[in-house]
Amino acid sequence: MPHFSPIDVGVLVIYLAGVVGLGAWFYRKSSNPDGYMAASRSMSGWVVGLSIFGTYVSSISFIALPGKAYASNWNAIAFSISLPLAAWVATRWFVPYYREGNAISAYEHLETRFGTWARTYAAVCYLLTQVARMGSVMYLLALPLHQLLGWNIPLLIFVTGGLTTLYTLLGGIEGVIWTDALQSLVLATGAIVCAILIPYSMPEGPSQLMAIATEHNKFSLGSLAPVLTAPTFWVVLVYGLFINLQNFGIDQSYIQRYIAAKSDGDARRSVWLGAIVYVPISILFLWIGTSLFAYYGARPELLPPALQAEIAEGKGDGVFPYFIVAGLPVGVSGLLVAAIFAAAMSTLSTSLNGAATLTLADFYKRFLRPEASEKESMTVLYVGTLVWGILGTSTALAMTEVKSILDVWWKLAGIFSGGMLGLFLLGILSRQARNASAILAVTTGVAVILWMTLSQTTIWPTELDGVKSPFDSFLVIVFGTLSILLVGFLLTQLFARGASANLRHPDPPSQDKT
pLDDT at site 220: 93
* Whether pLDDT at 147 is above 90: no
DSSP string, 10-42: HHHHHHHHHHHHHHHHTTGGGSSHHHHHHGGG-
d(Cα 166, Cα 160) in Å, to the nearest integer?
10
Give residue-wise pLDDT tens across range 293-305.
999 999 988 888 8
Burial of 162 (0-12, 13-18, 19+ CB in 10 A): middle
What SS3 state is found at 43?
A: strand
DSSP string, 337-370: HHHHHHHHHHHHHHHHHHHHHHIIIIIIIIII-T
d(Cα 465, Cα 175) in Å, to the nearest integer?
51
The overall average pLDDT reported for the chain is 84
Share of the chain above pLDDT 90, in %: 33
pLDDT band at 75 (very low <50, low <70, confident <90, very high): very high
In angstroms, what CA-CA distances link 333 with 70, 322, 394? Answer: 20, 10, 29
- Say if CB 252 and CB 354 are below 8 A apart: yes
d(Cα 197, Cα 287) in Å, to the nearest integer?
12
pLDDT at site 3: 59
In angstroms, what CA-CA distances link 187 with 37, 347, 377, 439? Answer: 25, 12, 34, 43
Give residue-wise pLDDT tens across range 211-232.
999 999 999 999 999 999 999 9
d(Cα 477, Cα 483) in Å, to the nearest integer?
10
* CATH class entry, domain 6-406: mainly alpha
* Whether pLDDT at 514 is above 50: no
> Residues for the chain: how many in total?
514
Which residues on neighbouring strands pair with residue 43, listed in sequence order?
A: 261
pLDDT at site 236: 93
d(Cα 148, Cα 192) in Å, to the nearest integer?
22
Give residue-wise pLDDT tens across range 247-291.
898 888 889 999 999 999 999 999 999 999 999 999 999 999 999
DSSP string, 397-432: HHTTT-S-HHHHHHHHHHHHTTTHHHHHHHHHH-TT
Q: Kindly list the domain boundaries of the chain, sorted by start residue.
A: 6-406, 418-500
d(Cα 74, Cα 285) in Å, to the nearest integer?
10
End-to-end Cα spacing for the chain:
101
SS (H, E, C) 259-317: HHECCHHHHHHHHHHHHHHHHHHHHHHHHHHHHHHHHHHHCHHHCCHHHHHHHHCCCCC
Q: Nearest Cα to 161, choosing from 183, 180, 186, 135?
A: 135
Query: What b/e string do you get for 61-86 counting C-beta neighbours within 10 Å, with b at 16 or more?
Result: bbbbbbbbbbbbbbbbbbbbbbbeeb
Q: Nearest Cα to 162, choosing from 403, 490, 396, 452?
A: 396
Enter the pTM of the model: 0.83
* Whether pLDDT at 103 is above 60: yes
Burial of 174 (0-12, 13-18, 19+ CB in 10 A): buried
pLDDT at site 358: 94
Q: Which residues contact 122 (CB under 8 A, 6 or more apart)?
A: 106, 107, 110, 250, 418, 420, 423, 424
299: left (phi over 0), alpha (psi -120 to 50) or beta: beta
d(Cα 92, Cα 76) in Å, to the nearest integer?
26
d(Cα 428, Cα 97) in Å, to the nearest integer?
9
Query: What b/e string do you get for 196-205 counting C-beta neighbours within 10 Å, with b at 16 or more?
Result: ebbbebbeee
DSSP string, 199-233: HHTSTT-HHHHHHHHHHTTTT------S-SSS--H
* Whether pLDDT at 335 is above 60: yes
- Say if CB 137 and CB 58 are below 8 A apart: yes
Burial of 422 (0-12, 13-18, 19+ CB in 10 A): buried
Least confident span in 29-38, 165-174, 486-495: 165-174
d(Cα 205, Cα 429) in Å, to the nearest integer?
55
* Whether pLDDT at 377 is above 90: yes
Cβ count within 10 A of residue 124: 17
SS (H, E, C) 121-158: HHHHHHHHHHHHHHHHHHHHHHHHHHHHHCCCHHHHHH
* Whether pLDDT at 379 is above 50: yes
